Structure 1
Amino acid sequence: MSALNLRLSRWAERLPSLRPSLANLRGWAVPLALLLGLETLVRSGILPAHQMPAPTQVAQTLFHLAVSGELLRHINASLLRVAGGFLIGAGLAIVIGTWVGLSRRAEAYLEPTFQALRAIPSLAWVPLLLLWLGIDETPKVVLIALGAFFPVYLALLAGIRNIDRKLVEVGQLYQLSRFALVRRILLPAALPNLFTGLRGALSLSWMFLVAAELIAATRGLGYLLSDGRETSRPDLVIAAILLLAVLGKLSDSLLKYWETRALSWRDSYQGGEN
């Protein structure tokens, strides 16, 4: 009886560690149900295969692209563009957002212009960037950087302006320099908002990638979308969309992991079980 109790206690100790894996499995329920439903509808003839290919056909297309080496080239091109644009846009947004958050004078000069630029659709930048920068990699990276800039800038500005005034007064009481005030009080207090902006910017970077790769690109996931449309291959279009979704999710999960590590000091509400 004691041996049985010992085993039960060990299983009880392991149950909390199993909860994250069970939560991850729940996340697969909706995608798998959608794939199974689409496969059934296409195979039964309810959905025409020339408009919506079966998931198995999309899997075959991805397999052929992977075997030929073409898939890796497209993914590498898109990843490099997103990484470059995101780092440039987010880096500039952190610097300028901090400056505007600290200075009312800078806000008076820059905020109206930034709000006007933010309202410009991504595709509206394409012809201007082509005229200015040609059809090389530069306009693609710049377009993605534009998409990444504004979510980080707005989130960081809101985070700094929503910091409790008493924290700033404590820093001034201890005679912290302006740089020390930013590094030790303002940026740590604004980190939750900053990570929210970074995740939104990363998502927009993948969206702007498609517009960027319509600029005379010969490789990349956006090019695959365009190629599938021009050759009337819906399987290629769906394959490119799935790859964008998977890569976007993986990059967001990586950023979310860094967010969890950086904000481990927070004792925030995580939601209920139901």
Structure 2
Amino acid sequence: MSQTQPQVQLATAHQLRFKQRINRALLGALVPFLVLLAWQVLGQQGVISSLLFPTPLRILNAGIRLIQTGELYDNIKISVLRALSGFVLGGSLGLAFGILVGLFRKTEKALDPTVQMLRMVPHLAIAPLFILWFGIGETAKILLIAKGAFFPLYINAFLGIRGVDNKLFDVTRVLGFSKWKQIIRLTIPGALPHILLGVRISLGVSWLGLVVAELMGSTSGIGYMMSDARQFSKTPVVFVGIILFAVFGIVADSAVRLLERKWLSWRDSYKGH
């Protein structure tokens, strides 16, 4: 009896956590469901313009047609590859420079003013210059996405390193840690919450950069599909593209949040009432 009691308590705890997840999911889906329902009813009644705001069922049918023709899959594959390529390039450089500037004050004085100046240049302002330099091929698009992905990781890596408690460095010096061991065992783990936040923001900015990149001159991708549909007044297809960007953005953000829960389980932070 004493052996089965902990098992029963563990099973009860699992059931409770499962119910809590279901309740959170239902609560999160409530508002979108009500919005879609109202949208469908108002569209069918002619209260809102069917040209500007096609009903959710028309949008769904447009998505099904795009799947059947294979056009949706091809454009999604190209867009995801562009977004990931730009994120990996810009994010890895941002992380490397952020760590470098965070660790060494001389590097901060030499590089940070230039980086901050470039950060203030908007995507739309630099897009024509990228077209002049690299044409309208893949290079310009990936570099434009990389530019956006660079800065959130750079800033958060820098802030995370500078936010590590200085007393911990005193402890590592007493323990005889080398500089490299301090970075690997203390600095990077201590900055990890900020770095993962930077990854989340960088992924979001990568999708925004993808929209700009594909709308500025492209013959493939979700952005191109939306631009082409706009020219022929295929508003449902435009909404399909918007929904795809939102879905992929949420999936990417959820993946990073899953890593946060796994890698930062040691934190005892406030989670709200």
TM-score bin, normalised by smaller chain: over 0.9
2:224 maps to a residue whose letter is Y
Report how far residue 231 of structure 1 moved.
1.2
Distance 1:130 1:233 in 2: 28
Q: Normalising by structure 1, report the TM-score.
A: 0.93
Instruction: Determine whether 1:147 maps to 2:148.
Output: yes
2:269 maps to a residue whose letter is S
Give the structure 2 partner of residue 118 of structure 1: 119
Give the structure 2 partner of residue 17 of structure 1: 18
Distance 2:78 2:198 in 1: 25
Matches within 5 A, 1:236-255: 236-255=237-256
Give the structure 2 partner of residue 62 of structure 1: 63
Report how far residue 25 of structure 1 moved.
2.0
Report how far residue 91 of structure 1 moved.
0.7
Give the structure 2 partner of residue 210 of structure 1: 211
Give the structure 2 partner of residue 27 of structure 1: 28
Distance 1:57 1:11 in 2: 45
Runs (4+) off by over 6 Å: 8-11
Report how far residue 12 of structure 1 moved.
5.2
- 1:69-105: CA deviation from partner (whole Å, max 9, x where unpaired): 0000111011101111111111111111011001111
Distance 2:175 2:90 in 1: 34
Structure 2: any 5+ residue segments left out of the alignment? 1-7
Distance 1:10 1:216 in 2: 56
Give the structure 2 partner of residue 165 of structure 1: 166
Count of aligned pairs: 265
Distance 1:81 1:111 in 2: 28
Report how far residue 216 of structure 1 moved.
2.2
Matches within 5 A, 1:177-188: 177-188=178-189
Distance 1:174 1:130 in 2: 54
Give the structure 2 partner of residue 259 of structure 1: 260
Give the structure 2 partner of residue 130 of structure 1: 131
1:213 aligns to what SS in structure 2? helix
Identity %, equivalent residues: 39
Give the structure 2 partner of residue 227 of structure 1: 228
Report how far residue 174 of structure 1 moved.
2.3
2:36 maps to a residue whose letter is L
Instruction: Determine whether 1:156 maps to 2:157.
Output: yes
Cα RMSD after superposing both structures: 1.6
- 1:5-46: CA deviation from partner (whole Å, max 9, x where unpaired): xxx999955223321122122211121111111111111111
1:28 aligns to what SS in structure 2? helix
Report how far residue 256 of structure 1 moved.
1.1
2:215 aligns to what SS in structure 1? coil
Distance 1:137 1:178 in 2: 40
Distance 2:9 2:82 in 1: 51
Give the structure 1 partner of residue 78 of structure 2: 77
1:110 maps to a residue whose letter is L
Give the structure 2 partner of residue 4 of structure 1: none
Distance 1:242 1:17 in 2: 28
- 1:98-149: CA deviation from partner (whole Å, max 9, x where unpaired): 1100111111111111111111111112111112112211111111111111
1:99 maps to a residue whose letter is L
- 1:249-269: CA deviation from partner (whole Å, max 9, x where unpaired): 111111111111111111222
